[in-house]
Amino acid sequence: MESPLLQSPGAVAADPPDEGVAAHYGEPAQEQRALAAGAAFADRSNRGVVRVSGPDRLAWLHSLLSQHLDALKPHEPTEALLLSPNGHVEHHLFLVDDGEAVWAHVEPGTAPSLVEFLDRMRFMLRVEVADVTGEYMVVTGPPGDAPSTDVPSWPDAAGTTTRIVPRAGGFPADLRPAGIWAYEALRIAEHRPRFGLDTDHRTIPHEAGLVETAVHLEKGCYRGQETVARVHNLGRPPRRLVFLHLDGSVDRLPAHGDPVEIPGGRQVGFVGSAARHHELGPIALATVKRNVPVDAELLAGGVAAAQEVVVSPDTGANAQIDLRRRPAARG
């Protein structure tokens, strides 16, 4: 759905997957500073919104998703993953229960496929699933006072709060709008991976650091649990998420999907998302092979990059953590 804010003076449309909202409104750096300072809001109305109602909703979602949900308290935000039978991430959901229904926001364009899957899994349970993207939207802005209990909300990057609000109510009138570039820069700086950008069809939760936020390791069976348990116990996922400090002398950012290489031209991964941060400069998230030394200099889409560990190469509760570094040169 195209946001009405795209008709604002100076608005520049974002590229996929964020088409439909503005990348910026003519002042990207100022918008980012204002968002971080609590003086702006980010229009994320292109995201999907799903509502699950009915008395069996929490126990049912608990059986399907990676998070412990059957005792979820009202207005307590959490995250969960829908995994494939092989443990690959298929959906990343941000969830909250308002006492009557579970609300979730998901990546742009993914709500219909999520609702289709959930509808197939209802069987005789007392649940109803609805894609309500047409009636509700996602907005990220300052936390303000404690939000009304009838507004689903989540703490987000750089102290912001994300809320699901009725589209009919419009956007905050007392704040300036910030483009999606502003929000993305804050998200990347906090090492928060985004499904579909910083993941691919082979991503498992441990590779992207999603176990800490979206997986409960002691709950009962759910689809894909075997993969999660195996990596948790044995460690050593095939790949790992890294944060990149990019060469600031280059006048471009690497694109999503650009190769990550080590000196000599060998590809070891791919670029996920990249942005220009108002304090850190050009930054990115990337996925690389587990055995890439943690202090190796990299090239991200041809741009020199220094990596910062997000996911240890030996992640897993029972694995011996020993970050790999290049051997010292022998004299």
- Give tens-digit pLDDT for 7-54: 999 999 999 999 999 999 999 999 999 999 999 999 999 999 999 999
Q: Which residue has the tokens 């948790």?
A: 232
Report pTM: 0.92
The dihedral through the CA atoms of 53, 57, 58, 61 has a sign that is negative
Q: Alpha-carbon dihedral of residues 282, 288, 291, 293, nearest 10 degrees? A: -10
Question: If DSSP states are collapsed to H, E and C, what string results for 31-93?
Answer: HHHHHHCCCEEEECCCCEEEEEECCCHHHHHHHHCCCCCCCCCCCCCEEEEEECCCCCEEEEE
Q: 118, 116, 92: which is closest to 105 by C-alpha?
A: 92
- Quick check: 258 pLDDT over 50? yes
For 166-198, how does the pLDDT look when each residue is reduced to its tens digit (9 = 90+)? Answer: 999 999 999 999 999 999 999 999 999 999 999
Q: Is the pLDDT of residue 112 over 60?
A: yes
Report the alpha-carbon distance of residue 130 to residue 248 in Å, rounded. Answer: 45
Instruction: Name which of 43, 26, 32 is nearest 279 in CA terms.
Output: 32
pLDDT in tens, 62-73: 999 999 999 999
Say if residue 329's pLDDT is above 60: no
Per-residue pLDDT at 324: 45
CB atoms within 10 A of CB 278: 19
Over residues 131-145, mean pLDDT:
91
Mutual orientation of helices 180-189 and 28-36 as an angle, nearest 10°? 60
Q: Which amino acid is at 58?
A: L
Convert the pLDDT of each residue in 82-92 to its tens digit. Answer: 999 999 999 99
Residue 181: predicted pLDDT: 98
Question: What is the pLDDT at residue 72?
Answer: 95
Rounded CA separation 216/27 (Å): 41
What residues form DSSP beta bridges with 137?
Answer: 165
User: Is the pLDDT confidence value at 320 over 90?
Assistant: no
The pLDDT, as a whole number, for residue 149 is: 56
Average pLDDT of the chain is 92
